[in-house]
Amino acid sequence: MKKFIIVLLFFAFAKAVTAQQDPQYSQYMYNPIVVNPAYAGNRGVASIVGLHRSQWVGLDGAPRTQTLSFHTPISDSRVGLGLSVVNDELGPSDETYFAADFSYTIPVSYNGNLSLGLKGGAHLLSVDFSRLNAREVDDALLENNIDNRLSPTVGVGAYYHTDRFYLGLSTPNLLRTEHFDEENSASTAYLAEERIHYFATAGYVFDLNDNIKFKPTTLVKAVAGAPLQVDVTANFLFNERLTLGAAYRWSAAVTGLVGFQVSDSMLIGFAYDRETTELGNTVYNDGSYELFIRFELFDRYDKLITPRFF
């Protein structure tokens, strides 16, 4: 049964018809630079974020994602720069994304800024077909592995923000890359295709009282050939230290979130997803787990006069 599930997971990726390909995050609000280059430098300080996600724990070949990003404003300018690396494993496939980000911020009102961003990088794809339990042993598409196949990536984004509100629109890769079988490159059959993903994010901070803040956020992801994905999250920040929250991914999962500001420089967080689909009812699926840590460099004066809720 587990091997059969591996095959299903892989072909959901390989045909690129009904599956969303970009990695999925429940704590998207803490690391938006992965999908939106316009966010680079917008925290006003150098920021490093690491995240690990294990999805559908218990299923052989289930997705596992690791991300590492760094971004910073450039002193005395409106420019922000960033770097990010994403590794995404799914069944027999292993994908790695490398990207550099550039943003330029324009003041558009008394306390509102609009940032425009560019993302450029590369994508490496490897597929080891020997890890599959193929039903058709002589399938020509499964005879030759894919080893670190390189393709370029180019993305754009916009990010409007105030002290309390943000709205972002982006696509991390505008290029549609088809990975063809080497022996049948003259045909139109392909193993995988990179589809364009569109992201919209938004959030706001409400003061419930002197010690509690309410931080609702949302993420909408659209890609051709897949259902629209909508995440709605409600976080409560207590004494600017402890965050407790819950999220709902439309027709997919419910999530519990917790975060803790260990120090002025360090934030850690944890999320647990439970599928609301039939996949969540299988005995092999123990849910999805996500852990992140953010470390920032700033001086105390800057921290006191410029609170950053996103």
pLDDT in tens, 225-281: 788 999 999 999 999 999 999 999 998 899 999 999 999 899 999 999 998 887 766
Q: What is the CATH number of the domain that holds 25?
A: 2.40.160.40
Distance, CA of 126 to CA of 146 (rounded, Å): 5
Residue 306 lies in a domain: no
Place 50 in a pLDDT band, splitting at 50, 70 and 90. very high
Place 172 in a pLDDT band, splitting at 50, 70 and 90. very high
- Summarize pLDDT for 81-102 with one digit per residue, the tens: 999 999 999 888 899 999 999 9
pLDDT confidence of residue 230: 96
Most confident of 15-29, 145-159, 170-184: 145-159
**Contact at 8 Å (CB) between 291 and 65?**
no
Please report, rounded to a whole number, the percentage of residues in the chain having pLDDT higher than 90.
60
- Summarize pLDDT for 100-131 with one digit per residue, the tens: 999 999 999 999 999 999 999 999 988 887 77
pLDDT at 220 over 60: yes
**Contact at 8 Å (CB) between 205 and 309?**
yes
pLDDT confidence of residue 129: 77
Is the pLDDT higher at 9 or at 24?
24
Place 67 in a pLDDT band, splitting at 50, 70 and 90. very high
Residues 6 or more apart in contact with residue 68 via CB below 8 angstroms? 48, 49, 50, 51, 84, 85
For the chain, strand residue ranges (E) read: 46-54, 64-73, 79-90, 93-107, 113-127, 146-161, 165-171, 178-180, 190-193, 197-204, 206-207, 212-223, 229-238, 242-249, 253-261, 266-275, 288-297
Full-model pTM? 0.85
- Summarize pLDDT for 277-303 with one digit per residue, the tens: 877 666 677 889 999 999 998 765 555
Residue 156 lies in a domain: yes
pLDDT confidence of residue 283: 61
Distance, first Cα to last Cα, the chain: 43
Residue 303 lies in a domain: no
Is the pLDDT higher at 20 or at 121?
121
pLDDT at 169 over 60: yes
Residue 11 lies in a domain: no
pLDDT confidence of residue 136: 62
Burial class (CB in 10 A: 0-12, 13-18, 19+), 71: buried
pLDDT confidence of residue 5: 38
State the average pLDDT over residues 18-39. 83
Residue 199 lies in a domain: yes
Give phi and psi for 50, each to the nearest 5: -120, 140
Is the pLDDT higher at 242 or at 144?
242
The tally of domains found in the chain comes to: 1
Residue 173 lies in a domain: yes
Q: What is the residue range of 155's domain?
A: 19-180+190-297
State the average pLDDT over residues 186-207. 78
Average pLDDT, the chain: 84
Residue 185 lies in a domain: no
Residue 10 lies in a domain: no
